[in-house]
Structure 1
Amino acid sequence: MLEVLATGPLTTVQDEGRVGLASSGVPRSGACDRGAYRRGLRLVGTAPGAASLEVTLGGLRVRALAPTTVALTGARCPGVPWDAPVDLRAGDELHLGTPGAGLRSYLAVRGGVDVTAVLGSCSTCTLSGLGPPRLAAGDVLAAGADRLPMPGVDVAPVSGPPAGPLLLTATPGPRADRVGEAGLAVLTGTVWVVGTDSDRVGVRLGGGVLEAAERWRGVELPSEGVLRGAVQVPPSGGPVVFLADAPVTGGYPVVAYLVDDPLRSDVDRLAQARPGQQVRLRLDRGSLEA
């Protein structure tokens, strides 16, 4: 069991999210950086899909009320072991400082965090309000029973999120024609900057404007389904890239999708970008031309 002493700017419970409910208007939610979240569970020998803690910009402080094993992954905070299983004794405290790079850290607990599931998931959705509330000081978290044999790994040789510019790969979206080739050239030729109003719903990019192609100016688009990684262009012309808590539909054109492959997810990488960090996009048309 863990007692929460401090939460930092934002700490939530996250798992794989609510899969298969988009037709009912329910966002998937789940961990923003799925790779880091899944790696933490493997390090503590816990079944896939169990709940962990997602910590935004550090500041989490917890006390072990009973012996347990945890692992920290994602954005690396100073003063604590990273990408490695850590045994905590009763009374031990874990304090996450501010990460030197990256935005979101994950605390995996052996057995998973035991909270009540809502619509099949323990994830907190900041858009819909579904799931457990955001963590607060004084909360006590029990460990679940989703235990597997420990992997016998001392440390996972994984580099942390970069502090410098990101180069991300996207494929043309279903409404790329709404900005045309000129707009796609702006999308890939601009050095974008992560906005301060970014959150778990999406990352707002500033530094350029994508204008509608002439034939589409003044023409509204009916709402249609969108997924994590969608690059949507609102009337302001500044792209928004959807993350875990994105809505299931949107009425602005989706001109591209970030690559979201389990082996290398550029959506995971963008989820670690801080406000002010630079982002460049490259367009991969290969899959469409094959």
Structure 2
Amino acid sequence: MSTTGRRGPAGAASGALDVVRPGTLTTVQDLGRPGYAHLGVPRSGALDADAHRLANLLAGNGPDRATLETTLDGTAVRVRTDVTAAVTGAPCPVRIDGRPAAWGAPVRVPAGAVLDVGGAVGGLRSYVAFGGGIAVRPVLGSRATDLLSGLGPAPLEAGQQLPLGVPGRPPGAVDAVPLPAPPAELVLPLLLGPRADRFTDAALRGLPEAGYRVSAASNRIGLRTEGPPLGRADSAELPSEGMVLGAVQVPPDGLPVLFLADHPVTGGYPVLGVVPVDRLGAAAQAVPGTPVVFLPVHGRTDPADGPAGPHPR
């Protein structure tokens, strides 16, 4: 059993969680490690950043504290000390020692109790915050699990122990919590370029009606699509070039891939365009089979990271 918690004089761990049920894929996430793409390090971090921030707010944390990001079937942990917790993101049943507890609100979990976050009833990913945050050791300033590079802690395993940080302010009263419905249709604005000229005019004109759907092969690296291949005007190979968060790359099969938090920072396939970062939270919650509509737009978008150097924010 991994013992990464703090230890007191008697050797007993304190301020920690014991993983009872890890779930299909539960990872530690914060706001990621932007600014290292020039070193080959992806941004990583919570895929649904708004849900992550809200969970922290409800638990009395700042937005940078680490949470647990669950995928589809939740997780269960036993707490070693009294702690405030909150669950947001994909709606799901929440239980404390088998008794129903609130989703989207601060709940007090007594020492020794099991907090069980059930399977998502809409969307894919839930976020579980604890007062003080998950206090695993940071790597390059972040506690986020990066599945592509292997940085940060590994996905949760049964019997693992996770340390908690020192709680900050008490959680404030909450009147209402926003509950965005998982998208019935994922509509993604697409700023065309830099390689849109590699595709036929007919392919670009037909994007909004192309009939793409979210593929079950999607993951934290990218949202893959199913549908008609995009027609190429130029099939010549490209040298490897920098990729940003939200880039839509088109591999040889012609099916667009939307790069998410754990995306590679370089690639050799043409980038059709870039989806604004503030629209990626919906992509994090889109279940396989969800229709995807790419809407070409004109203007500028903030890619949030890039290969040239540290991001100014």
Same fold (TM over 0.5): yes
CA contact (8 A) 1:47 1:148 kept: no
**Partner amino acid, structure 1, of 2:256:** P
Q: Aligned to 2:254, which of 191, 212, 237?
A: 237
Q: Aligned to 2:32, which of 17, 26, 49?
A: 17
- Going from structure 1 to structure 2, the CA distance change for 1:88 and 1:146 (only over 3 Å counts) comes to closer
**Following the alignment from structure 1 to structure 2, what is the Cα–Cα distance between the partners of residues 248 and 147?**
35
Q: Aligned to 1:111, which of 129, 132, 149?
A: 132
Q: Aligned to 1:194, which of 207, 211, 214?
A: 214
CA contact (8 A) 1:54 1:107 kept: yes
Q: Percent identity?
A: 48
Equivalent residue pairs, number? 280
Any residues of structure 2 matched to 1:142-221 within 5 Å, and which? 142-145=163-166, 147-162=168-183, 164-213=184-233, 216-217=234-235, 219-221=236-238
Q: Give how far 1:62 is off.
A: 1.2
Any residues of structure 2 matched to 1:81-100 within 5 Å, and which? 81-100=102-121
Q: Give how far 1:146 is off.
A: 6.0
**Following the alignment from structure 1 to structure 2, what is the Cα–Cα distance between the partners of residues 44 and 96?**
15
CA contact (8 A) 2:106 2:171 kept: no
Q: Give how far 1:236 is off.
A: 0.7
Superposed structure 1 runs of 4+ greater than 3 Å apart: none
Unaligned runs of 5+ in 2: 1-15, 95-100, 302-313
Query: Aligned-pair RMSD on alpha carbons?
Result: 1.7
**Partner amino acid, structure 2, of 1:175:** R
Deviations 1:171-194 (A, max 9, x none): 212111111432222322212111
**Partner amino acid, structure 2, of 1:278:** P
Unaligned runs of 5+ in 1: none
**Following the alignment from structure 2 to structure 1, what is the Cα–Cα distance between the partners of residues 150 and 181?**
30
Instruction: Look up the match of 1:2.
Output: 17
1:269 to 2:282 alignment? yes
Instruction: Look up the match of 1:249.
Output: 266
TM-score, normalising length from structure 2? 0.85
1:140 to 2:161 alignment? yes
TM-score, normalising length from structure 1? 0.91
